[in-house]
Amino acid sequence: MTLNGINYELLATDENGRHGKITTAHGIINTPAFMPVGTAGTVKAMTPDDVAATGAEVVLGNTYHLMLRPGAERVQKLGGLHSFMNWKNSILTDSGGYQVLSLAKRRTIEESGVTFKSHIDGAEIQLTPERSIEVQSLLGADISMVLDECTEWPISEVGAKASMERSMRWALRCKKTFKTKKGHGLFGIVQGSIFPKLRTESALHLEDIKFDGYAIGGLAIGEPQALMFEILEITTPFLPQNRPRYLMGIGKPSDIVGAVLRGIDMFDCVIPTRSGRTGQAFVRGGSLNLRNARHAEDKKPLDVTCDCEVCQSFSRAYLHHLVKAGEMLAGMLLTKHNLYYYQKLMVNLRAAIIEKRLKKFKKTFFDEQKIGPNLAGEFKMKES
């Protein structure tokens, strides 16, 4: 079903897991999907071709960073973000709200929007719902996000309610500003912190406004994983079945698997790329810290079950050497492996949903997590 130009088809379900297909102006996104984060028009340590080779069908760009540098108008003049960064597939841009609250200096939140001083040069800038949508349009995003107020945690219910209600008013202003265009859509963002009543109210309010997709924000900012899952279980039943669901900023493999089990379709996080730049590799069963001396003479690949280029070509010993020597190739290779691991996880989740074996996949995945990183390269691959 289409609304503002993107199409979503729910193709299969198992338990609460969903497999679907989103069609945008720049191609198909198979869900569940993980979006590598390309904050400033680049996925760090990766070329666009390398990102696509991992299986990624969509990347995330950041409105806050791109509007400050090089500027949305400049990107538009140079052909839009797809052309500017030479990425041929879909792009989702976040609204900039989270970065305003986490990075900007001397910020003031008012009904009109947010006024802040740039962390780059101290320039005073105002970001309103209307300007956020304008910037994302100038960038040429396939999927744009409404501007929301990112609720801090912990917060009182009174404070969370006021914040959520402001976000809902901003969401309506974003919807009124967003111009319908084939292949491009707008997602609303559910807020309400850890309070079930507020989450429900927010979800229902957004459904009344009508969006192409629905995101859940304000989670994974300090609350325990079990509480995050509880909020998802409360929220997702109030989201439309025929629209994609996006859990913002969630990125640990166990978070992703747990969220898919609770009906989430889309994810983004800096964890796989940031970890790659700091010597950590995700492998079946856990993760490896390549700084550890025990890898210095280890001839095994990162993961004996992985068929990525890094695992087929390089040993743990070599990668340990690169990390210890401070070579930039270390971050490039580990990032490439990590993004491949994440995309392979999504492929396996989609297959498990299609083949009605998600429950078995869950048991296998979490059983392997208990093995821990010391055995990550030694056990044999199990059937999921």
Looking at residue 4, its pLDDT comes to 53
**Chain centre to alpha carbon of residue 72:** 22
CA distance 107 to 122: 11
Q: 80: burial class by Cβ within 10 Å (0-12, 13-18, 19+)? A: middle
Catalytic residues: 94, 268
- Residue 123's SS3 state is coil
pLDDT tens track of the chain, all 384 residues?
344 589 999 999 999 999 999 999 999 999 999 999 999 999 999 999 999 999 999 999 999 999 999 999 999 999 999 999 999 999 999 998 888 767 766 788 999 999 988 889 989 999 999 999 999 999 999 999 999 998 888 999 999 999 999 999 999 999 999 998 999 999 999 999 999 999 999 999 999 999 999 999 999 888 999 999 999 999 999 999 999 999 999 989 999 999 999 999 999 999 999 999 999 999 999 999 999 999 999 999 999 999 999 999 999 999 999 999 999 999 999 999 999 999 999 999 999 999 999 999 999 999 998 765 443 444 333 322
Neighbours of 307 (CB within 10 A): 10
Written as one string, the DSSP assignment of 207-260 is HHH--SEEEE-S-SSSS-HHHHHHHHHHHGGGS-TTS-EEETT--SHHHHHHHH
In the chain, what is the greatest distance between 2 CA atoms, to the nearest angstrom? 60
CA distance 145 to 133: 8
Q: What is the pLDDT of residues 126-150, one digit of tens each?
A: 999 999 999 999 999 999 999 999 8
Query: What is the 8-class DSSP label of residue 281?
Result: E
Crossing angle (nearest 10°) for helices 253-260 and 358-371: 160
Written as one string, the DSSP assignment of 91-121 is EEEE-SHHHHHHT-EEEEEETTEEEEE-TTT
Establish how many alpha carbons lie within 13 A of residue 223's alpha carbon, considering only the half-sphere containing its beta carbon. 22
Looking at residue 105, its pLDDT comes to 67
Q: ∠ CA 129-130-134 to the nearest 5 degrees?
A: 120
- Residue 277's SS3 state is helix
Looking at residue 380, its pLDDT comes to 37
Looking at residue 22, its pLDDT comes to 98
CA distance 123 to 125: 6
* Helix H or strand E encompassing 13: strand 7-14
β-partners of residue 214 are: 188, 245
Domains of the chain: 7-269 (3.20.20.105), 275-375 (no CATH)
